[in-house]
Amino acid sequence: MTLPIPTTLGLKKSFGFGDRLGLATPGHLAAARKSDFAPIFAQQSIREMDRTQRTPQEVMLAAQKALAHAGYSQEWGADADHLKTEADVNITAATGYCFFTIDPSGLVVNDADTMSPALLVEQVAHLLRDGVFTDTHWAEHYLNQTFEVSDKTTLRFDQDGLYRAAAKYARAIAHCEKMTHAIAKASASRPYEIEVSVDESDSPTSALEHLFFGLELKRRGVHVVSLAPRFVGDFEKGIDYRDDLKAFEDCLQKHVEVAKYCGPYKLSIHSGSDKFSVYPIIGRVCENLVHVKTAGTSYLEALRVVCRKSPDLFSEIVQFSVQRFNLDRKSYHISTTELDVVDLAKKPTSDPERVYLEERVGRQLLHVTFGSVLTLGKARNGRSFKEAILELLNREKDLYAEVLEIHFTKHLSLLNAG
């Protein structure tokens, strides 16, 4: 069997299908065939690989074998997601990934939003001292200049705005430059493309901060195909957008204008699954300059199959997840609390599929505990949850593909409806 090779997708509008179990590609492909989005079928973050005890090669091969079996010959991408170190780059590049998502979120200084002017001056001095800026005249590229990013929007840096943007993002940008060199070296002569993600930081990215980020990347020779800012509102895991839709649209419009001005590059929507209320807005405002990234929602659809075909196994997974929730939730942006989960677990239900796979608390409970379920969880009979889930999904391949096709067709159709 000849395995298909992933390719770069450029500025085509694109959609990332994350797969935590290695069995979702047939359903993803069925939805992708009905859409004009360029698909990324091999996608998993380093964090998720650690939590599921999978390797980059296993993630890649699962997608390749499914595509080969389906006779798929069109272009598709492979995303080495949320890379933080050069070691992350090397191990994924060696496996053939060609889309690299750099995640410098840990270097974003969220406190810059509220720093005093005196402290900002001190922070910028530290950036020079630490070699983050090697050009002592770096500020002249921005200060008191007017940037007409569109016929509707003009942005201007005064010292306060520039220093806040630099204090907040300069170290992250410098890390992106370093990682870009590592990606170029690891990819050798193979084509590759780069995304930068700061969506997992605490405070929203303003249009002015995005402009600084985009221009500074360009000044440092970092060319991105997409960038994921931290948008206003709540992009929580596993559920719809939670905030004012008009405020989001106004914010998104300015980010699109900046992306066109600095690139053009695509805006990347992370935690993009299940954001049904904002998909038409995203499609309308971004048009083709958009990449949407999903991950955990395919795992939840797998649990939907488990719920329908093995209710007792599903019940055991829920009970185990309740015990793991408080620990596993810590690295995720969600509103569900331990008290919410405990209260839900106390309530008997005759419709577990609705309660745990359609409503906020149940979905987020199951979403954030996936790693523990797949690596630590055991059924009462001593069998691992992962083994039981995979056996059931292999037995119910058609149903799993069907629920995935329905789920992602809804995603893609709403994006295009805009």
Task: Indicate the number of domains in the chain.
Answer: 2
| Structure tokens, 220 | 């440092």
pLDDT digits (tens, 9 = 90+) for 50-80: 999 999 999 999 999 999 999 999 999 999 9
User: What does each C-alpha distance from 66 to 25, 63, 219, 300, 339 come to in angstroms?
Assistant: 6, 5, 41, 20, 41
Choosing from 19, 88, 193, 195, the catalytic residue is: 195
Do 48 and 88 share a domain, yes or no? yes
Do 188 and 268 share a domain, yes or no? yes
The pLDDT value recorded for residue 331 is 84
The answer as to whether 1 is a domain residue is: no
Do 290 and 357 share a domain, yes or no? no
User: Domain containing 307: what range?
Assistant: 303-396
The answer as to whether 274 is a domain residue is: yes
The answer as to whether 144 is a domain residue is: no
Cβ neighbors of 360 (< 8 A, separation 6 or more) are 239, 335, 336
The answer as to whether 121 is a domain residue is: no
Do 238 and 381 share a domain, yes or no? no
200 is known as an active-site residue = no
Q: CA nearest 279: which of 392, 161, 382, 409?
A: 409
Do 199 and 279 share a domain, yes or no? yes
Tokens 């997708």, residue?
9
The answer as to whether 347 is a domain residue is: yes
| Structure tokens, 418 | 């805009």
Do 327 and 260 share a domain, yes or no? no
The pLDDT value recorded for residue 1 is 80
pTM of the shown model:
0.97
Residue 385 burial (C-beta neighbours within 10 Å; 0-12, 13-18, 19+): buried
| Structure tokens, 114 | 């509220």
Do 205 and 334 share a domain, yes or no? no
The answer as to whether 153 is a domain residue is: no
Q: Spell out, as residue ranges, where the chain has pLDDT lower than 50.
A: none
Give the C-alpha separation, 345 to 339, whole Å: 10
CATH number for position 411 = 3.20.20.70
The answer as to whether 312 is a domain residue is: yes
pLDDT digits (tens, 9 = 90+) for 150-187: 999 999 999 999 999 999 999 999 999 999 999 999 99
Do 276 and 350 share a domain, yes or no? no
Give the C-alpha separation, 122 to 296, whole Å: 41
Give the C-alpha separation, 375 to 328, whole Å: 13
Do 171 and 269 share a domain, yes or no? yes
Q: CA nearest 161: which of 217, 218, 117, 227?
A: 117
The pLDDT value recorded for residue 418 is 80
Do 276 and 315 share a domain, yes or no? no
Residue 234 burial (C-beta neighbours within 10 Å; 0-12, 13-18, 19+): middle
Do 19 and 75 share a domain, yes or no? yes
Do 252 and 311 share a domain, yes or no? no
Cβ neighbors of 25 (< 8 A, separation 6 or more) are 17, 19, 41, 62, 63, 66, 67
Type of residue numbered 196? V
Please check whether residue 396 is in contact with residue 309, taking contact to mean a CB–CB distance below 8 angstroms.
yes
CA atoms within 13 A on the CB side of 167: 23
195 is known as an active-site residue = yes
| Structure tokens, 252 | 């998104």
The pLDDT value recorded for residue 144 is 85
The answer as to whether 3 is a domain residue is: no
Choosing from 19, 81, 193, 328, the catalytic residue is: 81
